[in-house]
Amino acid sequence: MAATDGTALAALMRAALALPVLALPVRAHAAEVGEIGFALLGYKERGLMKISEPLMWGKVQIGDNWTVSASALVDIVTGASPELVSNASGTPMRTVTGASISDRRTAGDLKVTRRFGALALGASRAVSNEEDYRSRAFGLDASYELEGKLTTLAAGYGKSNDRVGSADNPDLDERRDTKEYLLGVTQVISPTALAQSSLQWSRGKGYYNDPYKRTLTFYPDADLPILYDDTRPAERNTLAWLTRYRNHDPGRGTLQADYRYYHDDWGISAHTLEVAYQWDLSEAWSVRPSLRYYTQSAADFYGQVVPRPPPEVLSSDQRLAAFGGLSPAVRLTWRLDTVTVEGTAGYYYNAANLRPGGGTEGFVPLRAYYGLLTIVKSF
């Protein structure tokens, strides 16, 4: 290739600028771009718990190649629920205890991304602390844009070292270590359509038990009930495949469809399908109704009753049962200049009969509401 000497361009520009036109500086990027955001989440599970989550984040692009982002959050959990599943005379019966605890979680993360042309490398660090749980995680990720920028490949690795404790048992201090991997591809299909597919898998070892959960069973021939601590396998390997599709209809809106398949070696297989449409009502306002359907099979060791003799692993945590869930939500977005305000209201309904073929008998339907408010200012 010939060297750039600039004289040819200068001559062409001189000839063009003899005309009543103005030269525009050629720039691919704005010099410095950043944003700060604030989010507040409220969650109410009927009679059970309420979480509010003030979250702040900031992101700044420095020059063309560096991006730094950070976030911090405080979770306030009130009325969390230690619960018991019990049965009298063989029929499982669930009791929800009224005991109420209040907990506070603080968390933060920092991520630095450096771009080398088509390649971007990122490193992140996240910490999270609460009274009975502590997490330290770091991650590395890379993305590479193929010639023409229509295809982006991504790979990631993450490691998380957690400590599990208990407010009830000061002696409990157990480890849980997880390694996560990701491979993904994003493809521009047309000027308005985009598809993304990624495979994530993780290998975890350590303490997975819920120190607050016990399974209680009354056998008619025994005087005392059997009380069994939540006991889960000391390993968990998961696999998730996520595919997203976005189709933008200029001037009207954007269709979003996501499908996720999940499988782990506890015996849980899950499917999630979410469809949303964002209507652009005007340049300032848009509304996005969405509907998510979820279904999962039960973990192999899920049970509401302690069998005789007691097994090695057993949990009556409803989240390990077979069930289905529907979650409609609506999000309203308002943009003015560099400020974006979003409000989301959603509802969860999880029930056994929402799983094709029926879920776990005795599954107590979960009804929960949540609201999310986000404010983002870019500069």
Residues of this chain that interact with another protein (CB under 8 A) are 1-6, 8-9, 11-35, 64-65, 115, 117-118, 120, 145, 147-150, 188-191, 250-251, 283-284, 335-338, 378-379
Smallest distance from the beta carbon of 144 to another protein, in angstroms? 10
What DSSP character marks residue 11?
A: H
- Kindly give, in sequence order, each residue whose CB lies less than 8 Å from that of residue 314, ignoring residues fewer than 6 positions away: 215, 228, 230, 231, 301, 303, 306, 307
345 vs 376, beta carbon nearer another protein: 376
* Rounded Cα distance, 100 and 214, in Å: 16
Pair type for strands 83-88 and 214-217: parallel
Smallest distance from the beta carbon of 188 to another protein, in angstroms? 6
Pair type for strands 235-249 and 253-264: antiparallel
* Rounded Cα distance, 298 and 296, in Å: 7
Smallest distance from the beta carbon of 59 to another protein, in angstroms? 12
Exposure on the CB side of residue 313, measured as CA atoms within 13 A: 15
Smallest distance from the beta carbon of 328 to another protein, in angstroms? 30
Smallest distance from the beta carbon of 34 to another protein, in angstroms? 8
Fill in the amino acid letter for 133. Answer: Y
- Cα 39-140-130 angle, rounded to 5 deg: 45
76 vs 150, beta carbon nearer another protein: 150
25 vs 357, beta carbon nearer another protein: 25
Length of the chain: 379
49 vs 188, beta carbon nearer another protein: 188
118 vs 183, beta carbon nearer another protein: 118
Smallest distance from the beta carbon of 183 to another protein, in angstroms? 20
CA distances from 214 to 86, 185, 234, 277, 314 (A): 9, 43, 17, 42, 9
26 vs 224, beta carbon nearer another protein: 26
